[in-house]
Chains A and B, each alone.
Chain A
């Protein structure tokens, strides 16, 4: 039998923060990114990751993907606030769609010292189907993509190999609702 805690654990005291990926279509105009970032910082929302690129040159549209943390109520408020911004066409929580796809790309440079490390790295790279961008005597550069979770796992696995040096860049998730 497990012992009783000397203090009760307040179950509801921890707000139900959830990771959400928001997809926002905007007019590509000066200041739009500042508006969005300002909205998040001004109202105390989190930005975990952010990605912006023009997706329609003719119509001058950009798609912004924002990964954020918050209770459901907060996420709905973020969406409502985003949709109030003049250049915003739409803001969608991908989690609310019946079908959506998510990807992130990561470039990682791994420096190693010996054969054994090289083998282990190669092994993980193989499992995760990462593409070799460059390989030299003492380092290798991979490109790996997939959900952020998949990349996290790959990096966690790499972490189990002692003595290597890892440098990386991640795009942050991008997502598309179908």
Chain B
């Protein structure tokens, strides 16, 4: 009974991946995926990147997806292989990143017997995926894979997992190609493609009436595609309305543009947070009123009419009640708004919001990101500023770990294009940045990819430097080494009486030697005079580089809205001359 139209489950998987135009997969082998690894052997359309721990595979897939706009794919074995990716799946779910995770499972007849390396994969990953499958019948495999890709990338994107028992990988069936599958609409949930004309009309009317409008833009704008950002730029230029973005929205609008107020939220700019607090019209484009953005809810932008564009129905009225909303895709909606303005010859030229901009420019005078660089110790803010100045001419992708360095990167590195900024926002996963850089470099082999890291976070997935070396990925790890879990130390200083409980990172490795032992390159800057040269050297080396930048150990990240405080209850840095007691006052907040 050898039917040549029939293929093994493993071959079907590869055919489906090819059909989905997947050319890169991050993975780690094990018993329950050996048939798939056998199929990978000796083919040449799919490049397999062998990571050093499965967590690396999932973050690499995230970095790949974020930097390319494509679906990231990974392959892991059963049991510990898949439990190692739970953090990354949750990360992708929180940050709406499209990835497909293929996991091996023990053979069907052993499921439920506590077999070797068996775990309840679909059970464990159900709450941390957009959807997941256990494939019990090889004839359903093709359809399942195609649906998984469709679900991962449609509507609000997210991670999808397919668990394939080993016997299914051997069993044979026909392959059904992508074009022969008709998706069931209710399962895909692609969001509406119909413009909400009333929403558009109301919005334009409100823009005309308002005196203090603001755009509040989030990662949804990124996920809607490059065109969304172009339409947004058009709209902002037409209306002269100030715009602030969330951590994930950075890059959707050029950070150096005069209309940009920069990032808002817990470590957002003074002018951005105050403008949100005082505005009379808020236009939310693909942001989700996260608690790190809103601060204390009852004091969040009390006097504004709120419009919300979000493809995810459950993001509407979840934390903040809005006056108008639409679930239609951002690109489609923004395009319609622009078209409506053009076709009705609406001119905002006379409006210009002079008083509003005057007020904003007053707030800007606070220079909330001001710092003073002395002539010895490197200030971390300065390290990022210099990194930006010395790399801005290149097509640079920046990933980060989690902590102060991440916030300084968001504040001082300016992005002019979407998809260049890859960070773990919703989950705040230390150890994200390095593997994410591996993924971003795989997707963008000719670009400069930098992981802005903290020494503590870097240690969490340090093994992936070997992956970078093996695949000759010239990623740069730019460590702001403060020998502290700086963000933890900052909270302890401000909120826990400077009791630095377990936040000092003792027994650090020598990062230069460590780089060398991995066959990467290590460079170091110990003081300000070495900073520029070290950065330039790092950029010039066409290999993976670890740059160990020794920075001020006690620097804090400001502005800061302590959690539970309101936007106007912001703590400013010690350089803020007008309000030297800010820090003292801050301790009673939260």
* Interface pair B187/A80, CB less than 8 Å apart: no
| B323 proximal to A (CB < 8 A) | no
Interface stretch of the complex, out of B56-64, B219-227, B245-253, B310-318: B310-318
Our pick among A42, A73, A76, A86 for the contact of B187 (Cβ within 8 Å) is A86
Taking the nearest CB of chain B, how far is it from the CB of A42, in angstroms? 5
Chain A binding surface SS class: helix
* Interface pair A35/B126, CB less than 8 Å apart: yes
A35-B127 Cα distance, complex, nearest whole Å:
8
If A30-B134, A77-B318 touch, does A84 touch B313 (CB 8 Å cutoff)?
yes
* Interface pair B313/A88, CB less than 8 Å apart: no
Taking the nearest CB of chain A, how far is it from the CB of B311, in angstroms? 11
Our pick among B122, B127, B187, B318 for the contact of A27 (Cβ within 8 Å) is B187
Taking the nearest CB of chain B, how far is it from the CB of A71, in angstroms? 12
| B358 proximal to A (CB < 8 A) | no
Q: Which residue of A lies closest to B160 (CB)?
A: A86
* Interface pair B126/A38, CB less than 8 Å apart: yes
* Interface pair A42/B127, CB less than 8 Å apart: yes
| B131 proximal to A (CB < 8 A) | yes
| Chain A 80-97 near chain B by CB (<8 Å), digits 1 or 0 | 110111111110000000
Q: Which residue of A lies closest to B184 (CB)?
A: A27
Name the residue in A83, A86, A89 with the highest tally of chain B Cβ atoms < 10 Å from its Cβ.
A86
A42-B136 Cα distance, complex, nearest whole Å:
27
* Interface pair A73/B317, CB less than 8 Å apart: yes
A85-B126 Cα distance, complex, nearest whole Å:
11
Q: Which residue of A lies closest to B314 (CB)?
A: A80
* Interface pair A81/B314, CB less than 8 Å apart: yes
Our pick among A35, A81, A89 for the contact of B186 (Cβ within 8 Å) is A89
* Interface pair B314/A77, CB less than 8 Å apart: yes
* Interface pair A88/B122, CB less than 8 Å apart: no
A42-B123 Cα distance, complex, nearest whole Å:
13
| Chain B 317-341 near chain A by CB (<8 Å), digits 1 or 0 | 1100100000000000000000000
| Chain A 86-115 near chain B by CB (<8 Å), digits 1 or 0 | 111110000000000000000000000000
| A8 proximal to B (CB < 8 A) | no
Taking the nearest CB of chain B, how far is it from the CB of A37, in angstroms? 10
Chain B residues with Cβ below 8 Å from A31 are: 122, 126, 132, 134
A144-B312 Cα distance, complex, nearest whole Å:
43
Q: Which bracket fits the contact residues of A?
A: 20 to 34
A73-B186 Cα distance, complex, nearest whole Å:
24
Q: Which residue of A lies closest to B158 (CB)?
A: A84
Taking the nearest CB of chain A, how far is it from the CB of B392, in angstroms? 39
| A57 proximal to B (CB < 8 A) | no
A87-B151 Cα distance, complex, nearest whole Å:
12
* Interface pair B127/A86, CB less than 8 Å apart: no
Q: Which residue of A lies closest to B189 (CB)?
A: A84
Chain A residues with Cβ below 8 Å from B126 are: 31, 34-35, 38
A84-B151 Cα distance, complex, nearest whole Å:
11
If A38-B127, A77-B318 touch, does A86 touch B189 (CB 8 Å cutoff)?
yes
Q: Which residue of B lies closest to A90 (CB)?
A: B186
A30-B136 Cα distance, complex, nearest whole Å:
10
Chain B residues with Cβ below 8 Å from A84 are: 189, 312-314
Chain B residues with Cβ below 8 Å from A77 are: 314, 317-318
If A27-B187, A34-B126 touch, does A86 touch B131 (CB 8 Å cutoff)?
yes
CB interface residues, A 47-92, toward B, < 8 Å: 73, 76-77, 80-81, 83-90
Chain B residues with Cβ below 8 Å from A90 are: 186
CB interface residues, A 8-44, toward B, < 8 Å: 27, 30-31, 34-35, 38, 42
Our pick among B123, B131, B314 for the contact of A34 (Cβ within 8 Å) is B123
CB interface residues, B 170-197, toward A, < 8 Å: 186-187, 189
Taking the nearest CB of chain B, how far is it from the CB of A31, in angstroms? 6
If A38-B126, A38-B127, A87-B187 touch, does A80 touch B134 (CB 8 Å cutoff)?
no
If A30-B134, A84-B312, A86-B189 touch, does A76 touch B123 (CB 8 Å cutoff)?
no
Taking the nearest CB of chain B, how far is it from the CB of A6, in angstroms? 28
A175-B132 Cα distance, complex, nearest whole Å:
29
A83-B130 Cα distance, complex, nearest whole Å:
12
If A30-B134, A35-B126 touch, does A86 touch B314 (CB 8 Å cutoff)?
no
Q: Which residue of A lies closest to B147 (CB)?
A: A86
Taking the nearest CB of chain A, how far is it from the CB of B293, in angstroms? 18
Name the residue in A30, A42, A77 with the highest tally of chain B Cβ atoms < 10 Å from its Cβ.
A77
Chain B residues with Cβ below 8 Å from A89 are: 186
A35-B122 Cα distance, complex, nearest whole Å:
10
Taking the nearest CB of chain B, how far is it from the CB of A85, in angstroms? 8
Chain A residues with Cβ below 8 Å from B318 are: 77, 80
A27-B131 Cα distance, complex, nearest whole Å:
14
CB interface residues, B 129-152, toward A, < 8 Å: 130-132, 134, 136, 151
- Nearest first, the 7 closest Cβ-Cβ pairs linking A and B are A80-B314, A86-B131, A80-B313, A89-B186, A86-B187, A81-B314, A42-B127
9 pairs from A and B in contact (CB 8 Å cutoff): A31-B134, A73-B317, A76-B317, A77-B318, A80-B316, A83-B314, A85-B131, A86-B130, A86-B189
Starting from the known contacts A31-B132, A83-B189, A84-B312, 14 additional A-B residue pairs (CB-CB under 8 Å) come to A30-B136, A35-B126, A42-B127, A73-B317, A77-B317, A80-B313, A84-B313, A84-B314, A85-B131, A86-B130, A86-B131, A87-B187, A88-B186, A90-B186
